[in-house]
Amino acid sequence: MQVFGVKLPAMSSLLLWGLLWEIVGQMGLTFFVPPLSQVFATLFEIIGTPPFLKALWETGYAFFMGVFFAIVIGIPVGILMGKSRFLDELLLPWVNIFVSAPLTALVPVLMVLFGFGLTSIIITTTLFAIWIIILNARAGVRQINRSLVDMARSFGASPLDAFTKIYFWAALPEILGGVRIGVIRAVKGVIIGQLLISIVGFGALFELYASNFLMGHFWAVLIILFALAFSISEFLGYLERKVAYYAAKR
C-alpha cells in the first residue's frame, strides 16, 4: 500500500481499522464493541490463565488431529484420483458435493454416529479440511508433465517410487495451496465442532463469554484464534513460495 508516495509496511491498514475500533469503543455506542485497548488488556489478562490454556490445548489437539488426518488421507487420495481415471470417476462426484456442502448440517449426524466426544470433533475438523486438499492434490497431479512420468518408467521406477519421487513433488505447489486453504477451513470445523458437539475448548470459551455478555473476553479469544490461524496460513504460504520456483516449469 502506498500513501502520498510513501510505501507502508504490509498490513498497516490494520492500524487504521484498530484506531476506528478504539474510537467506536470509547464512544460507548454498544456493549458489543468495547474499546480495542480494553480487549487487549483482557487478552493479556486471560492468556496465561488455566482455563485459557486448557481451552487452547483442547482446541489445538482436536485441530491438529483433524488436520493430520485430512492431510494423510487427502493427499494420497487426491494423487490417486489424479492418476487413475477409474478412481477419479468413482470419487469425484462425492468430493465435489462435500467441498461445497454445508457441512455444519452434517454435524448432528456425526454426533449420532460417533458420540459427543473428541472423536466427533476431530472428524468434523477433518471433514471441513479434507475435500479441498483432495481436489488440489488431484489438480496438481493432472497437470504433471507426461514425459516426467515416462522418464521415471523408462528408468524402471516402481509404482511406489513414481508416487513418492515424481507425483508428490510435481504436485507439491498445488498440494501446499490445498493444505493452506484446508487448514483455514479446519479452524472453522474445530470451532463449530466444539460449539455443537461438546462445549469444550475455545468453543466453550466463546459460549461462556457470549452468554455472559463478556464481549472484551469474547473479542480477545477471537483475536487470538485469528492470530493463530493467520500464522499457520502464512507459514504454509511461505512454504508455497519456496516451491514456486518450479511451479511454472514442470
Partner 1 sequence: MAMSQIDTPFADASMAAPESAVSVRGVSKNYGAVEALKNMSLEFPKGQLTSLLGPSGCGKTTLLKIIAGLIPADSGTIEVGGKAITGPGDDRAFVFQDFALLPWANVLRNVAFGLELRGVAKSEREAIAETYIANVGLAGFEKAFPHELSGGMRQRVGLARALSVDSQVLLLDEPFSAVDEQTRRKFQEDLLSLVENENKTFIFVTHSIEEAVYVSDQIAILLPRPSRVSEIIRPSSFRNKGVENIRRDPEYLDIVDEIWASLRNYVE
For partner 1, the binding residues (CB under 8 A) are 145, 147-148, 150-157, 161, 165-166, 169, 172, 243, 245-246, 249-250
Nearer to partner 1, 45 or 150 (CB): 150
The nearest distance, CB 159 to partner 1, in angstroms, is 12
Distance (Å, whole) CA 46 – CA 28: 23
Nine cell digits for residue 16: 487504521
Distance (Å, whole) CA 194 – CA 207: 10
The nearest distance, CB 143 to partner 1, in angstroms, is 13
Provide the H-helix boundaries in 143-167: 146-154, 159-161
Nearer to partner 1, 69 or 163 (CB): 163
Nearer to partner 1, 5 or 156 (CB): 156
CA distances from 145 to 64, 151, 168, 247, 250 (A): 33, 10, 13, 12, 6
The nearest distance, CB 80 to partner 1, in angstroms, is 21
The nearest distance, CB 245 to partner 1, in angstroms, is 6
Nearer to partner 1, 24 or 148 (CB): 148
Distance (Å, whole) CA 32 – CA 210: 10
The nearest distance, CB 58 to partner 1, in angstroms, is 38
Nearer to partner 1, 150 or 234 (CB): 150
Nine cell digits for residue 73: 488421507
